[in-house]
Structure 1
Amino acid sequence: MDPIKTKINKELLLDGLDCAACAAKIEKGVSELNGISACSVNFMTKTLTMETEQGREDGIITEAKKLVKTLEPHIEVKEKQIGTKSGITPLSLNGLDCANCAAKIEKEVSLLSGIKSSTVDFVSKKLIIEPTGTMKTDDLVADIKKIVKRIEPEVNVTLETHNKVQDNEHNHDHENNKIKRLLIRLGVGGVLTAVAVFSNLPYIPELSLFLIAYFIVGGDIVYRAIRNMTRGQVFDENFLMAIATIGAFAVGQFPEGVAVMLFYQVGELFQGIAVNRSRKSISALMDIRPDYAHLKVGQETKKVSPEDVNVGDLIIIKPGEKVPLDGKVIEGNSMVDTSALTGESVPREIEVGSDVLSGFINKNGLLTIEVTKSYSESTVAKILDLVQNASSRKAPTENFITKFARYYTPVVVITAAVLAFIPPLILQGATFSDWFYRALVFLVISCPCALVVSIPLGFFGGIGGASKSGILVKGSNYLEALNDVKVVVFDKTGTLTKGIFEVTSINPSNSLTKEELLEYAAFAEVHSNHPIALSIRKAYGKEIDDNRIQDYNEISGHGIEVKVDGKEILAGNAKLMKKESISFELKDVVGTLVHVAIDGQYGGYIVISDEVKEDAAKAIQQLKALGIKKTVMLTGDAKTVGNAVGNELGLDEIHAELLPHQKVEEIEKLDREKSPKEKLIFVGDGINDTPVLARADVGIAMGGLGSDAAIEAADVVIMTDEPSKIATAIKIAKRTRGIVWQNILFALGVKTIFLLLGAFGIATMWEAVFSDVGVTLLAVLNAMRVLQTKNM
């Protein structure tokens, strides 16, 4: 038998990726490399994610980098650093805003004698070095600081990787410089064009001015078009604009040739600004990454990176600060803002013994917290990883648009060629220059940028908007699947109910008092961590003396057998009483019954109930209002309990007394009953329901504010544990799809109209430019509306 090959994910940062069509080309090219089992490019975060076999990753990364450089030489490819390992030292480069400067720093640092490897992560502004061990860290850092100061005097180098500083004095912004240079080029080109148009110059000087203006404005477009053509990449926006504007010169339309390139560049500039602002807006929704931690060392505190704090360490959280790591409060009380994780604006009160999660914001009190999870395992790290990687799972609509764009542009180019050459041959009086000009208009219109930019942006915004509401969606595919949901299946405990069991009634036989019955039950349950046992001990409220207990025995699926003060105590379900032949009366009571027997005689029963969540009934009503055909509850509880909860909430079907594998069977039955296009959701607590979550079309877990099992198992995580957020998620999904299809229909509709107008000679290149860059800009702005989730 062949050994199982472990699959691992690797990520590359694509600095300089500003073209959606280029992103699609890179994704297609890398996915075809030998050894790649899955590949996706997230245009919004400029990240290439690859799945390959463990042990082959280094060679695959090298091949992928070469391919990206071949396809798009201007893109800087960096391997994304995930966490740190032994021997790796991260340095923070505060104020680093120039990708070229970052590349210079990386190269020069790697040449130092004490450095084995050096990588600059431009996005997180980190320099990751692996020392050889021949030099002291302080000496290495000193040498690195000299290099950095020489290349970028304003950059501050520090070992505190999470220490953010207000970097107001450093104003070197590579992106702003790029925009300024483009604006200067456009200004000079515009002035030269105006001189050529309004000055009555002879033909040669006039043509010379137009050509100079053209190459100042669009020389980079022509260069990229030629470079791509030499690599066999013909049908892209650079080729379309170059051939159309050069063609305009060929038919004597000099002003239009320059003006079209001018307005195309202006449109691309505004489009780039809009996309970058969109990225920042979405990223700001999940700005929960901790900056630092105050580590308590003896009687002093030390400001360190959260990654340097170990499990069991004590950290201090001051008022107004973010909680950097998951932990338990051991001193102090305060109100905390949980909105970054849950979307809830109401602060939560915490005290000694309370669990707190990274990403919370301390409002008023001073807290001392014992760390229970390392940074890499903390809630905030997992959530950030989920949100940042969500767009790598593309929705069917995104995949359709990618394929559509791949065939659409060549079809339009071929149609343009037919339009240029066939009518002059078959139509009487038709001139080649007239039809050639119409074909050029066709080429300008055909660029599919509006679709390939705005569609992924719309889904990315939908995921960001959902996270703002405390709903983590693991991929665009799951967000889109929520549109077609017609069956919603719920687990009971911890999903529709709070999962907090309380003793609601104590019913002793004639021979015992309530206090005695509760005491015997508490002693019997002393060693159990089951929620029912915990609720009995909580109701008893006294310390339990282990010396009074002997011969403790847990009978699986039945209950407990134990001796207390020499008396034989049985505590468990009805099956235990029947097994031990103890006479008792079955009660039709809503809740879980714990029967107790003393020395073979029935002593009575205790009723334990789980309270229904406040918004559970509202959630069912909202789902039905959204067109959900069937709501179902699956539970392992007794039928009386399940029916009581289900009837109270108005569920359509209730299936009780189910084991985990029987829940899967019920899901499969429901799946067979629905149509293939309809989707089924299962909502569980993400711990015991993993098989069912995996079997459903969309698995939704009640996150329990950081339940590891929930975050790992489900496709969607509700961080607030509120069932009503399921309806909110569906509303966001429907709104996202609506806006995405608005953009698709708008872009295709406008382009179709202008293609027809161009074919009949009505539309000129001016209108053609609007149908390209203008439509793209409007589509991007429309896509950003998906972030507005206040009224959902």
Structure 2
Amino acid sequence: MKSKLMNKKQKKNFIRIIASSILIAVILLLPVSEKTKFFLFFIPYLVIGYDILLKALKGIINLKPFDENFLMAVATVGAIALGEYTEGVAVMLFYQIGELFQSIAVGKSRRNISELMDIRPDYANLEIDFEKSEIKTVSPDEVKVGSIIVVKPGEKIPIDGVIVEGKTTLNTSALTGESIPREVKEGDEVLGGCINCSGVIRVRTVKEFGQSTASKILELVESASSKKSKSEYFISKFARIYTPVVCIAALALALIPPVVRMFILNTDALWNLWIYRALTFLVISCPCALVISIPLTFFAGIGGASSAGILIKGSNYMESLSKVRYLVFDKTGTMTKGVFEVTGVHHGIMENEKLLELAALAECYSNHPISKSLQRAYGKEIDKTRVRDVKEISGHGISAVVDGKQILAGNAKLMISEKVEFTECHCAGTIIHIAIDKKYAGHIVISDIVKPDSALAVKNLKALGIKQTVMLTGDSKRTAEKVAEEIAIDKVYSELLPQDKVSKVEELLNQKDPGENLAFVGDGINDAPVLSRADIGIAMGALGSDAAIEASDVVLMDDNPLKISKAIRISKKCMRIVYQNIAFALGVKFACLVLGALGISNMWTAIFADVGVMVLCVLNAIRVLFGKKS
């Protein structure tokens, strides 16, 4: 759906601005007395400012007067009362122009995010009777787990599921930020929110609509704005203190100089002059630029990241991400493809095929990539009835009874713990040692492939100011060092158990400076404890994983390591704009406040200090939405 430039409320305000502008021009041209003009100017003033006056009145009634509406009401009413009716009406007019501009900018930002994340489907085609081809269009939240839904070309997949019939290509750009279509066929998992590009597919749902990927992503983006950064909290506290302080200062400016002149210096008090300066002071002091632009910057940053396939869970994580100086990676599935292939069978006391068969059977209940690679290498249908008493030994391997024989399949630690004499392997890769009834039978070499972008990703990170890159893995030292050398990782720690990874991250956390953050990048399933322990947890390529979404602070919606540097770059740009806006807004305001107090600036300067600065800060803030998605 094509978004419009302005909504109904914005159009109404635009019409008010045009109408009041015409009225002001007509009144200025009328050949009437100044007294008549004074009363006539109340017409455009009320047309353009009635809502501000009402909000200010409500604030006073609710005992919460100190906001921008109060400042504008007091300043403009005071200016008109002093006879400066042209300036009073002009201040209200330009303020409303600034508010309209800001509203359109925020609306654009929200629409961009809405379009980027427009993945919530409106309906699902629920299959009622396959033989009769009977399909019923229902709301996605009415579809139960295990139901069959039909997705036609051009439609969104409403709920996560598995294809039971058909093949097609999917547009996953709304989820991953990648424009290249993905080919899927029977047996493949598909995620809610993807668009079916070509063939008709039948999908068996594996989750309820509320738990599907599309719903989780939308929930993350919607809740991200509630997690405020330190900068946002600072601005909120600053505005609560700043506004009453400047109101008191304006009152003092209006009263103290005239009183001093009248009673101490015995000269004319010049009440009109000092009240006018105080009113100018109030207009200048309005904190709109900060209160609006800082949250908008973070909101736009989260939206810009979403368009690149990066989910940042809140402004606080955006700020923390910009301070990352140490990056710790898991190896398998993060810096490598996690697609393991059997590359050798060594020292076997039996035929290679038989050894592979026993290993595949022992590992048949595991979903680990290594287990899957053994099953693929075996290449035959596995009869699970031959397998019993399967035990997974964390960080070591598998113990299972196959055809009545105890099979041990795992790393060297498993052989040592079970007191099995084994033969070391000098090949690079993951070594799966096999023992039958505690007697060594040989080992299988499984190799993983480094992702083509991993080396470039590490290079990009170092260019962004990352001091040290570290890789943690449970794999062998030889394999780990080979991968680390290939992608230029600074330090590598191998043969680690899951709890060892947490300990190593804690050790690294203790070594860094207080103002620096450490990020851990993992697949989000096996690495949930480490993701939670790091300053920033980044889950890569685990979009469908509940563990990834729950444990991490940032979710990369595909497995491209280049997205890590992209996320950090966006966060740095976001924080740079935040600091620019704070410095610019405060600098201009304080300069104009001093000039206003001294009588050097007038209401027109005040308009720039308020509306002009707000517009410039908003324009600067929405820059975060734009940039390369690569």
Q: Same fold (TM over 0.5)?
A: yes
Q: Is the 8 A contact 1:559 1:573 kept in 2?
A: no
- When residues 499 and 203 of structure 1 are mapped into structure 2, their CA distance, relative to the original with a 3 A threshold, is closer
Could you give the per-residue CA deviations for residues 184-215 of structure 1, whole angstroms, max 9, x where no partner exists?
54455445544543334345433322334433
Aligned with 2:140 (options 303, 306, 313): 306
Evaluate the alpha carbon distance shift between residue 491 and residue 575 of structure 1 in structure 2; reply closer, same or farther with a 3 A threshold: closer
Counterparts of 1:572 and 1:182, CA distance in 2? 71
Change in 2 beyond 3 A, CA 1:397/1:583: closer
Deviates more, 1:464-473 or 1:772-781: 772-781
Q: What's the counterpart of residue 527 of structure 2? A: 689
Cα 1:590–1:422 shift into 2, 3 Å: same
Aligned match of 1:220 in 51, 61, 64? 51
Structure 2 counterpart of 1:292, from 94, 109, 123: 123
Tell me, in whole angstroms, the C-alpha distance in 1 between the residues paired with 2:208 and 2:589: 53
Q: Secondary structure at the match of 2:568?
A: helix
Which stretch shows the higher mean deviation, 597-606 or 223-232?
597-606
Match of 1:459 in 2: 298
**Counterpart in the other structure of 1:757:** 595
Distance across 1 between alignment mates of 2:405 and 2:61? 92
Relative to structure 1, the CA distance from residue 441 to residue 325 in structure 2 (aligned partners, 3 Å threshold; closer, same or farther) is: same
Asked if the contact 2:543–2:555 (Cα under 8 Å) also holds between the matched residues in 1, the reply is no
Which 10-residue stretch deviates more, 762-771 or 377-386? 762-771
Amino acid at match of 1:353: G
Which amino acid in 1 is paired with 2:587?
A: G
Once structures 1 and 2 are overlaid, which stretch shifts more, 262-271 or 476-485? Answer: 262-271
Q: Compared with structure 1, are the counterparts of its residues 245 and 520 closer, same or farther at alpha carbon in structure 2 (3 Å cutoff)?
A: closer
In structure 1, what is the Cα distance between the partners aligned to 2:18 and 2:391?
84
> 2:159 aligned with 1:328, yes or no?
no
- Give SS of 1:252's match: coil
The residue number in structure 2 matching 1:705 is 543
Residues 363 and 695 from structure 1, CA distance in 2 versus in 1: closer, same or farther, beyond 3 angstroms? same
| SS at 1:717 equivalent | strand
Read off the aligned partner of 1:206 and give its amino acid letter.
K
Query: Residue 275 of structure 1 is aligned with which of 84, 102, 106?
Result: 106
Q: Is 1:395 aligned with 2:253?
A: no
Partner of 2:81: 250
Contact preservation (8 Å) 1:562, 1:569: yes
1:374 positional shift = 1.0
Give the aligned partner of residue 596 of structure 1. 434
Any residues of structure 2 matched to 1:74-89 within 5 Å, and which? none
* Residue 667 in structure 1 maps to residue 497 in structure 2: no
1:515, distance to aligned residue in structure 2 (A): 3.0
Contact 2:428 2:447 in 1 (8 A): yes
Query: 1:662 Cα deviation (Å)?
Result: 2.2
Q: Secondary structure at the match of 1:657?
A: coil
Q: Is the 8 A contact 1:699 1:715 kept in 2?
A: yes
Q: How does 1:26-45 map to 2 (within 5 A)?
A: none
Q: What is the alpha-carbon root mean square deviation over aligned residues?
A: 2.8
Q: How does 1:512-591 map to 2 (within 5 A)?
A: 512-544=350-382, 549=386, 554=391, 556=393, 557=396, 559-560=398-399, 562=401, 564=403, 571-575=409-413, 577=415, 583-591=421-429
Structure 1 distance, partners of 2:539, 2:193, is 20
1:192–1:209: 8 Å Cα contact kept in structure 2?
no
Per-residue deviation, 1:694: 1.4
Runs (5+) with no aligned partner, structure 2 = none
SS at match of 1:631: strand
Shift of 1:381: 0.3
In 2, the alpha carbon distance for the partners of 1:261 and 1:250 equals 14
Q: 1:715-736 CA distances to partner (integer Å, 9 max, x unpaired)? A: 0011102222111000000111
- The partner residue of 2:314 within 468, 475, 498 is 475
C-alpha separation between the residues in 2 aligned to 1:705 and 1:501? 21
Change (3 A) 1:336 1:193: closer
- Between the two structures, name the one with larger relative contact order (CA 8 Å, sep ≥ 6): 2
Scaled by the length of structure 1, the TM-score of the pair is 0.73
SS at match of 2:338: strand
Match for 2:93 among 262, 273, 280? 262
Query: In structure 2, what is the Cα distance between the partners aligned to 1:654 and 1:745?
Result: 41
Quick check: 1:729 aligned with 2:560? no
Structure 1 counterpart SS, 2:217: helix
Identity score, percent: 55
Structure 1 gaps of 5+ residues are 1-165
Paired residues in the alignment total 620
Asked whether 1:230 is paired with 2:32, we answer no
Q: Partner of 1:489: helix, strand, or coil?
A: strand
Residues 49-198 of structure 1 correspond to what in structure 2 (within 5 A)? 175-176=7-8, 178-179=9-10, 181-183=12-14, 185-198=16-29
Shift of 1:528: 4.7
Q: Structure 2 vs 1, CA of residues 192 and 569 (structure 1 numbering), >3 Å: closer, same or farther? A: closer
